[in-house]
């Protein structure tokens, strides 16, 4: 039996508003698409949380033995200011301001995006297509929608006819919005005279003389609308109907709603079975925004160079901090929360380091049960099961981490000689070990941070441990105690084990 059969996933589907059992279209395979960054500026923390969320989700699918095709795009054209159908292209504007070619801007900020993803240990997707690499496909689907009567051309621009689409389908099925309300409240734009209705949106826009990024089309020189690129790239690489589409909560409307309409209109079928949306970030209880002065880049968070930060925090500490909240919950940044996350991550990371070195149960020690008589083997089996069940319950990383803390405490009690393992079933112990390591590294993507000189530090401390063993053998207990106390003063706790064995732990 595959792990995904033993621990079936139930996820909150934004499309239905219900928690549903995940059943992939093709058994054993998962196709997922996530809206990637618009590469006109440095990636911000809100982006990072979204991509971390779907990195963890894709990791867990793979951990459960699914084969995953994960597609995440790069938006390098068509995303206009204000997410509407007017104004400058964000990348074109940046290129004009910096007097660079648009593709120079794209390259600079795509490289920055990839660098931040590596720092957070976010794995690259299976495919990373770009909007400019799929202009032909975007033109073709626009032509198809015109032929089907679901789009119309005016003065070199093409718009999707939402009212016509809504006659046979439901525009607003994802966001829960009512088309009549949208038609009344729609924003007035310069192009409104061209549109039949306010809520119609651009599939292709005519390029003004000053617009830098432009391509030839049947309707004249122009550029694609923002929404059409994701419809094209998702269905090209995952099929006309695929398993899962993700993105930030802010994309639910209009971007994802428009994606559904375009794909459904063009192909006559619902494009996505399950939709997942990650929530926003706040700072000290306020929405993160540049205008409030509380928005900071990952680099500022790592270095501590922002005025709101007391110090810098490592990428793994920040990743751990983000994973402590469910992806659908608002996540609030504060120094206190980050400091607590730093200490918590050190604790479970130290346990990870210790258990990775254990090759088998410590069978030379006498078995000892906890005071309530709970059998250690059964307790380990319960924690193993809890890891899978919490992650399979809507990818609940917060509850998984709570279980990992419980496992860490068990590991530390074994390490300190409070619990003994000679009566633990070997298979259970090995499963406990592999589950802890796997959930930490493969699912949550947390890795031990070396600080650059971990091997040197480890070697130096071991030299001192061996020296302490020698002076204890020589009964020079004063020097032995001094070595122990001096190490403790700099945050390194030596622990004396049975038969003269020693270990150390770096205190948080």
Reading across the β-sheet that carries 242-248, which strands appear in turn? 67-72, 29-34, 242-248, 272-278
What structural domains does the chain harbor? Answer: 3-278 (3.40.50.620), 283-443 (1.10.730), 454-506 (no CATH)
Q: Concatenated DSSP letters for 64-83?
A: TT-EEEEEE-BB-S--BGGG
- Contact between 278 and 307 (Cβ < 8 Å): no
For residue 295, the model assigns a pLDDT of: 78
pLDDT above 70 (res 192): no
pLDDT above 60 (res 451): no
Closest CA to 388 of 374, 403, 375, 376: 403
Residue 496 in tokens: 């004396």
For residue 470, the model assigns a pLDDT of: 74
Higher pLDDT among residues 469 and 398, named by residue: 398
Residue 453 in tokens: 């000189």
Give the model confidence (pLDDT) of 266-296 as tens digits.
999 999 999 999 999 888 888 776 667 777 8
Residue 254 phi/psi, 5-degree rounding, is: -95, -10
For residue 368, the model assigns a pLDDT of: 46
pLDDT above 90 (res 5): yes
For residue 417, the model assigns a pLDDT of: 74
As a whole number of angstroms, the distance between CA 225 and CA 78 comes to 5
pTM score, whole prediction:
0.86
Give the model confidence (pLDDT) of 9-45 as tens digits.
999 999 999 999 999 999 999 999 999 999 999 988 8
As a whole number of angstroms, the distance between CA 361 and CA 428 comes to 10
For residue 458, the model assigns a pLDDT of: 58
H or E segment to which residue 13 belongs: strand 10-13
Strands 281-283 and 242-248: what pairing? unpaired
Ranking 162-166, 450-454, 459-463 by mean pLDDT, the lowest is 450-454
pLDDT above 90 (res 372): no
Average pLDDT, integer, range 237-244: 98
Higher pLDDT among residues 374 and 331, named by residue: 331
As a whole number of angstroms, the distance between CA 368 and CA 111 comes to 55
What mean pLDDT, rounded, does the chain reach? 88
Higher pLDDT among residues 496 and 445, named by residue: 445
How big, in percent rounded to 5, are the helix, strand and coil portions of the chain?
Answer: 50, 15, 35
Give the model confidence (pLDDT) of 476-507 as tens digits.
878 878 888 777 766 677 766 544 555 565 55
As a whole number of angstroms, the distance between CA 93 and CA 455 comes to 48
Residue % of the chain over a pLDDT of 90:
65
Strands 157-160 and 151-154: what pairing? antiparallel
pLDDT band at 91 (very low <50, low <70, confident <90, very high): very high
Average pLDDT, integer, range 440-465: 74
As a whole number of angstroms, the distance between CA 178 and CA 166 comes to 11
Higher pLDDT among residues 185 and 97, named by residue: 97
For residue 504, the model assigns a pLDDT of: 61
For residue 506, the model assigns a pLDDT of: 59
Give the model confidence (pLDDT) of 427-437 as tens digits.
888 999 999 99
Closest CA to 126 of 31, 239, 26, 251: 31
Give the model confidence (pLDDT) of 109-150 as tens digits.
999 999 999 999 999 999 999 999 999 999 999 999 999 999
Higher pLDDT among residues 473 and 7, named by residue: 7
Dmax (CA) of the chain? 94
Q: Is 485 helix (H, G, I), strand (E, B) or coil?
A: helix
Residue 474 in tokens: 């020589």
Cβ count near 13 (within 10 Å): 18
For residue 351, the model assigns a pLDDT of: 95
Average pLDDT, integer, range 449-473: 67
pLDDT above 60 (res 370): no
């Amino acid at each position: 039996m595959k792990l995904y059969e033993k621990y079936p996933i139930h996820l909150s589907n934004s499309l239905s508003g219900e928690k549903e059992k995940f059943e992939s279209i093709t058994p054993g395979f998962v196709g997922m698409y996530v809206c990637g960054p618009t590469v006109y500026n440095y990636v911000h923390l809100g982006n990072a949380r979204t991509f971390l969320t779907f990195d963890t989700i894709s990791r867990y699918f793979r951990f459960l033995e699914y084969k995953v095709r994960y597609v995440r795009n790069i938006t390098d054209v068509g995303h206009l200011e204000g997410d509407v159908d007017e104004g400058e292209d964000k990348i074109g504007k940046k290129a004009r301001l910096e007097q660079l070619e648009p593709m120079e801007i794209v390259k600079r900020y795509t490289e920055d995006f990839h660098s931040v993803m590596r720092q957070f240990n976010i794995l690259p997707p299976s495919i990373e297509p770009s909007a400019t690499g799929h202009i032909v496909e975007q033109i073709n689907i626009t032509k198809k929608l015109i032929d089907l009567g679901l789009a119309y051309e005016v003065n070199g621009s093409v718009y999707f006819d939402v009212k016509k689409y809504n006659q046979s389908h439901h525009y607003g099925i994802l966001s829960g919005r009512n088309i009549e309300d949208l038609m009344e409240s729609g924003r007035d734009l310069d192009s409104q005279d061209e549109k039949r209705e306010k809520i119609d949106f651009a599939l292709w826009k005519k390029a003004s003389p000053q617009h830098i990024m432009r391509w030839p089309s049947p309707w004249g020189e122009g550029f694609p609308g923002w929404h059409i690129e994701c419809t094209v790239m998702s269905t090209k690489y995952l099929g006309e109907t695929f398993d899962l589409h993700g993105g930030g909560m802010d994309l639910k409307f209009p971007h994802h709603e428009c994606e559904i309409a375009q794909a459904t209109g063009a192909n006559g079928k619902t494009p996505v079975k399950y939709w997942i949306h990650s929530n926003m970030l706040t700072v000290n209880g306020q929405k993160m925004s540049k205008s409030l002065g509380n928005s900071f880049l990952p680099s500022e968070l790592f270095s501590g160079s922002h005025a709101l930060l007391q110090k810098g925090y490592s990428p793994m500490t920040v990743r751990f901090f983000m994973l402590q909240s469910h992806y659908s919950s608002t996540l609030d940044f504060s120094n206190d929360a980050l400091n607590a996350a730093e200490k918590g991550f050190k604790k479970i990371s130290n346990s990870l380091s210790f258990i990775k070195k254990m090759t088998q149960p410590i069978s030379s020690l006498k078995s000892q049960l906890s005071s309530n008589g709970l059998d250690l083997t059964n307790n380990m089996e319960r924690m193993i099961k809890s890891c899978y069940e919490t992650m399979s319950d809507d990818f609940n990383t917060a509850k998984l981490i709570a279980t990992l803390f419980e496992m860490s405490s068990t590991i530390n009690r074994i390490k300190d000689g409070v619990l003994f393992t000679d009566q633990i079933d070997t298979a259970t112990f090995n499963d406990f070990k592999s589950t802890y390591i796997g959930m930490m590294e493969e699912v949550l993507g947390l890795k031990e941070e070396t600080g650059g000189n971990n091997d040197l530090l480890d070697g130096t401390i071991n030299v001192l441990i061996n020296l302490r063993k020698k002076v204890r053998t020589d009964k020079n207990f004063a020097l032995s105690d001094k070595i122990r106390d001096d190490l403790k003063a700099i945050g390194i706790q030596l622990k004396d084990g049975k038969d003269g064995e020693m270990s150390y732990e770096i205190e948080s």
